[in-house]
Amino acid sequence: MRRVVDASPTARRTPSRADPTVPCSPPFYPHYISPKQTLTAPIPSTKQAPATTEQAGTEAKPKTERRKRVLSGVQPTGSIHLGNYFGAIKNWVKMQEEFDAFYCVVDLHAITAGGHDPKELVKSTRSSAAIYLAAGLDPARSNVLGLDPARSNVFVQSHVSAHSELCWLLNCATPIGWLEKMIQFKEKARKAGEDVSVGLLDYPVLMASDILLYNADIVPVGEDQRQHLELTRDIAGRVNNLYGGGKWKKMGPKGSRAPSGRFRGGEILRVPDAYIPEAGARVMSLTDGSAKMSKSNPAEGSRINVLDSPDEIAKKIKRCKTDAFEGLEFGNPERPEATNLLTMYQLCTGMTKEEVLGECGSMRWGDFKPALTDAVIEHLTPIQARYAEIVEEEGYLDGVLKKGADAANEVAEKTVADVRDAMGFMERIH
């Protein structure tokens, strides 16, 4: 019989400080990139200046605390797999409880590899958005949608043209050497050979635009995005340094306001932090415990997709790579598969590492694999059921995406208008 596991956020153990469901302020998050990790020095004139277009500029009014904001995205290329889910999406669902949330399907990023299939892109964009919504299902809270569109703005990146515009402005402030150093670019460019597109090189600047447009405080991603987050911080610092502070102030008469309504001066762009989870930041391939689970691996058996059927999941786990050691353990460098599969079990069941070891430490692979299969299926079944409802309900997904894009456009337009203003572009004449 299948073991019933309740891995919903509310069914978890005593909340820990690292648990984003616990109301807390950012210092409790232990996985931030250090705010000191910028290549450029922060501009000296920022001091207490409000860093966002929305929060500043309320002359004599008392300062109101702005809710912290979270932004993240997944590319709609191929199927969303357990790496995307545990590395990113599951944390988004928790974070919406506490933050103003903007989650986008980054379709502009999906074409950077070149030669995409247009029909597939539109299908995959809708399907990704539906998975975002379905992934938040929390049965313990009577079918409340996790990525509740009222709390999370779910939208499609290309529906907000400010992403492309800010990308251009940031391109012109980003040294090409910073982009050529990106590990993902180097790896992908090597594979693409002569076909490598300008878009692939520019990919991280577009990602920086996604984040900086929304003045995001925190960006939940998997480990593989750490370098891109560092670059985002560097780009924000450089733009602030080049065009912010006193230089921006002098763009208009003393005490004048930028297009967004905030006073000119201070930081133009907020420098964000990354949130990289302790478990799930790097879910590894089923066929090689030392390689990341990835959409681009041609071997379908290397990953479990969120929408895989129970049969597919069982087959993939049955065939996955194991080793010849006795028992199961975390952290043995000679046993990457054991660490990966135990971590997968931990994430699906919501148990602690210690609990997993207590239950599975002395198991053989032959006993553990069926337990893992059950745990993965149990975890994904409600998500798949909700997904089916979402795609069947006519107009629902479109409604969510429209509302999300409207909200996103409102924020993004203000930010990009301020960047244009600080960089010396003439204001539009209405």
* Interaction pattern, residues 364-393, with ligand TYM; x per rule: CB under 6 A: ------------------------------
Number of residues that bind ligand TYM (CB under 6 A): 26
Burial class (CB within 10 angstroms; exposed 0-12, middle 13-18, buried 19+) of 255: exposed
> Quick check: 147 binds ligand TYM (CB under 6 A)?
no
- 292 catalytic per annotation: yes
Burial class (CB within 10 angstroms; exposed 0-12, middle 13-18, buried 19+) of 324: exposed
Considering only CA atoms, which of 83, 66, 65, 64 is closest in space to residue 74? 83
Burial class (CB within 10 angstroms; exposed 0-12, middle 13-18, buried 19+) of 243: buried
Give the residue with the Cβ less far from ligand TYM, 83 or 289: 83
> How many other C-beta atoms are found inside a 10 Å radius of the C-beta of residue 246?
12
Give the residue with the Cβ less far from ligand TYM, 81 or 414: 81
> Quick check: 145 binds ligand TYM (CB under 6 A)?
no
Q: Which of 283, 317, 341, 400 binds ligand TYM (CB under 6 A)?
A: 283
Q: How many residues does the chain have?
A: 430
> Quick check: 210 binds ligand TYM (CB under 6 A)?
yes
- 47 catalytic per annotation: no
Please, how many CA atoms are within 13 Å of residue 211, restricted to the half-sphere of its CB?
Answer: 29
Shortest-Cβ-distance residue relative to ligand TYM? 87
Nearest distance from residue 96's CB to ligand TYM, in Å?
A: 15
> Quick check: 273 binds ligand TYM (CB under 6 A)?
no
- 36 catalytic per annotation: no
3-state secondary structure of 394: coil
Please, how many CA atoms are within 13 Å of residue 152, restricted to the half-sphere of its CB?
Answer: 29
Give the residue with the Cβ less far from ligand TYM, 87 or 149: 87
Task: Provide the β-strand partners of residue 152.
Answer: 101
> Quick check: 281 binds ligand TYM (CB under 6 A)?
yes
> Quick check: 73 binds ligand TYM (CB under 6 A)?
yes
Q: Contact positions toward ligand TYM, by CB under 6 A?
A: 71-75, 83-84, 87-88, 106, 109, 207, 210-211, 219, 221-222, 224-225, 228, 280-283, 292-293
